[in-house]
A and B are shown apart, each in its own frame.
Chain A
């Protein structure tokens, strides 16, 4: 089985994409791709999508697939099932297609990278990332507001004799103010926030003036997680809480 997806800008044409796919397969892999009428069961399973089917055949293998387009999230997905000539099709494709989703219904996006999992509002787009041994960082942006997710490991070595507050102070990004120790699910955590005195003036400043930083120590997992938010406008605190609650290390 193969699944490929991508975001589409502008109008989506099933015919044009199938044509492009057929030309590529013919040129590169000497396979002939043809349009294929979807069975009623497949159509039912893919009720929420605009779907078109295709099939291909080579000397040893054959395949059937669908091109899906979701008008809600503007994502196009290609799902194809490979099949050797001797094997029967089975019910697996139907189960896969029936369970397929390309966006969540609650307006959030689940990000799962290596050992971190985070739920971030869908309108925040990923703008930067860094995966170095011991230090992961993801950055999201929406209308000048930024969310940064951090993960440090191994916490026992990074903290050493220090506590989380001292660790927060030692990190340049977190040294702008005085971190306040807080209790988070019985574990060690620190918070730091800053906002300008004259809030209306902040929109004229070139740099973001509202900052919120939170760090917490997952002792059992030997990790430190951190969320930073910055922007020119005040934050939606409920959203910030949701991001913190949904951010975890597996």
Chain B
């Protein structure tokens, strides 16, 4: 057993470079629109093998993949609609700041946090 694990070098991207990326929606997700205009995104999650076995035993799905809902609020829905596979992160920020009369920096923090959160869940990817 190794006591001191060597830390993996994570890829460091500069802020400017990160803002140039274009967010793209995962093709495996499905969207549902509520009456209020807000969106619920259903994204797939892979169950842990032991839990998938348990689900299977009780007559659940066999592939170990389940959709999970994620309800977006009004602002989240707006950003979600701006993600069209063509606009870069920086363009989305600009549009968002313009719509709500926000300062660019404030809009940047809000939008990048949201995009990071979606990325962590695998709802979107960056290219």
Q: Which residues of A contact B (CB under 8 A)?
A: 114-115, 133-134, 153-154, 156-157, 160, 221-223
B105 partner, pick from A114, A156, A157, A222, beta carbons under 8 A? A114
Q: Which residues of B contact A (CB under 8 A)?
A: 74-75, 100-103, 105-107, 109-110, 113
Question: Closest approach, in angstroms, between the C-beta of A130 and any C-beta of chain B?
Answer: 13
Number of A-B contacts (CB under 8 A): 27
Docked-complex contact B110 and A134, CB < 8 angstroms: yes
Q: Which residues of B contact A157 (CB under 8 A)?
A: 74-75, 100
A-B contact pairs, 27 of them (CB 8 A): A114-B103, A114-B105, A114-B106, A115-B103, A133-B106, A133-B107, A133-B109, A133-B110, A133-B113, A134-B106, A134-B110, A153-B100, A153-B101, A153-B102, A153-B106, A154-B100, A154-B101, A154-B102, A156-B100, A157-B74, A157-B75, A157-B100, A160-B74, A221-B101, A222-B100, A222-B101, A223-B101
A183–B74 alpha-carbon span in the complex (Å): 29
A160–B107 alpha-carbon span in the complex (Å): 19
Question: Closest approach, in angstroms, between the C-beta of A79 and any C-beta of chain B?
Answer: 27
A130–B33 alpha-carbon span in the complex (Å): 34
Question: Closest approach, in angstroms, between the C-beta of A129 and any C-beta of chain B?
Answer: 15
A223–B100 alpha-carbon span in the complex (Å): 9
Residue of A nearest to B111 (CB): A133
Q: Which residues of B contact A115 (CB under 8 A)?
A: 103
Known pairs A154-B102, A222-B100, A222-B101 / 13 extra A-B pairs, C-beta < 8 Å? A114-B103, A114-B105, A114-B106, A115-B103, A133-B107, A133-B109, A133-B113, A134-B110, A153-B106, A157-B74, A157-B100, A221-B101, A223-B101
Residue of A nearest to B78 (CB): A157
A214–B102 alpha-carbon span in the complex (Å): 22
Quick one: which of A133, A156, A221 has the most chain B CB within 10 A? A133
Q: Which residues of A contact B113 (CB under 8 A)?
A: 133
Q: Which residues of A contact B100 (CB under 8 A)?
A: 153-154, 156-157, 222
